[in-house]
Amino acid sequence: MTPGLAVPPTYAPIPSDVHPNYAAIDARTAAWANTFGIGSKEWRSRLATQDIGVFAARILPKGEEEVVSLLSDFIIWLFGVDDGYCEEGELGHRPGELAVALHRLLRIAQNPESPMLTDDPLAEGLRDLTLRVSRCGTALQAGRWVDTLREYFFAVVWEAEHRAAGRVPDLNDYALMRLYDGATTVVQPFLEMGHGFELQPHERDSKAVRAAAEMTSFITTWDNDIYSHHKESRGTGYYLNIIRVLEHEYALSPDKALTKAIAQRDRVMCLFLSLRAKLEDEGSPQVRQYLRGLSSFIRATQDWSTSSERYTTPHDPAAFLLSFTDTPTDDSTDPLNIPSISWWWDLVPASRTAPLEQ
């Protein structure tokens, strides 16, 4: 079999960390998936080797263990939806039917007492998750979580439409939809729950904090695409990935598309660090904690993607260099030529003493 793309060391300026009880969290999540029958037995057996609980423990290394376990169970549930419905299931090529199925699940998240889908494992798992979110979070956070589920569901239907048509989207649309179809925004409410605080609406919805959250989604999904490309490109089905999008957008070879994707990711990482520094100077203690959570999420994705069998695929090893670097490949302060996200650069003033745009 021909070797895949050689991914160089990743720019990783954020320190690595993990919750001390990661092993117990991982074991409990495997048991939770078995209890609710998420996916097939073979699928659960495969997922049990992929360190889902460790990923959650890296996202919330200092979080309350109950919330870390809740996040871990939610992540494996998301994989059940993504693998079972969207990528490997028949609905992944039927956007209309997928939209109906996902909206039924959304109704369960909104109203878990609804007498519907009572024999569906994903629905029953979601009922349990919804009740636990209500217990661990505030009413505002629980509502925010449902809103992010809606964003995610809407985006994966868009993805299914492209899959059904066999069409590669343009870069601008891909960057926009990847903020949501990568299931990153659905994780962000747990960054508050896990540390027992709540951002005020005017803080969370400010342009600067929203941009920091979107940058986190961009970086983590670009990283995921870079590290999952080996596995996805080996498959026989249609796949969406930034390397494939860049090949199509600019008529690049796979190697040059990889280099460009890494440069885009590194430029946004540099921007995130600048915006984070400014927000840390001006923000409330809650905003500063939220920024620490976003940072942990970024590094968690890097660490997990380079160690989990989901992406390293031992039977057909990916060409990862399992190391990190403190030097970006692109530290330009110019906006990326992607209109849907170029506004982020307007929020970072040249001087740390200049005010942020609200």
Q: What does the DSSP assignment read for 84-130?
A: IIIISSGGGG-HHHHHHHHHHHHHHHH-TT-SS-TT-HHHHHHHHHH
Contact 256, 6 (CB under 8 A): no
First to last CA, the chain: 52
Contact 141, 93 (CB under 8 A): no
What Rg, from alpha-carbon coordinates, does the chain have? 19
**Residue 168 φ/ψ, nearest 5 degrees:** -95, 125
CA angle, residues 28, 31, 37, in degrees to nearest 5: 140
What does the block give as tokens for 117? 């889908």
Average pLDDT, the chain: 89
Contact 162, 326 (CB under 8 A): no
What does the block give as tokens for 310? 């989901």
> How do the pLDDT tens digits run along the chain, 358 residues long?
345 678 889 999 999 999 999 999 999 999 999 999 987 788 777 777 778 999 999 999 999 999 999 999 999 999 888 876 766 667 878 899 999 999 999 999 999 999 999 999 999 999 999 999 999 999 999 999 999 999 999 999 999 999 889 999 999 999 999 999 999 999 999 999 999 999 999 999 999 999 999 999 999 999 999 988 877 766 666 678 999 999 999 999 999 999 999 999 999 999 999 999 999 998 999 999 999 999 999 999 999 988 766 655 545 555 555 679 999 999 999 999 999 999 999 998 654 445 555 4
φ/ψ bin of 317: left (φ > 0), alpha (ψ from -120 to 50), beta (otherwise): beta
What does the block give as tokens for 174? 């891909």
CA–CA separation, 291 and 278 (whole Å): 11
What does the block give as tokens for 158? 């868009």
Helix (H) or strand (E) holding 325: strand 324-325
CA–CA separation, 50 and 53 (whole Å): 9
Contact 197, 204 (CB under 8 A): no
What DSSP line would sit under 236-280, residue for residue? SS----HHHHHHHHHT--HHHHHHHHHHHHHHHHHHHHHHHHHHH
pTM of structure: 0.93
Task: State the DSSP code for 194.
Answer: T
CA atoms within 13 A on the CB side of 272: 30
Q: How many CB atoms lie within 10 A of CB 355?
A: 9
Amino acid at 200: Q
CA–CA separation, 187 and 85 (whole Å): 19
φ/ψ bin of 178: left (φ > 0), alpha (ψ from -120 to 50), beta (otherwise): alpha
Can you say how many angstroms the Cα of residue 1 is from the centroid of all Cα atoms in its chain? 30
Helix (H) or strand (E) holding 324: strand 324-325
Q: What is the pLDDT of residues 41-59, one digit of tens each?
A: 887 777 777 789 999 999 9
CA–CA separation, 306 and 37 (whole Å): 28
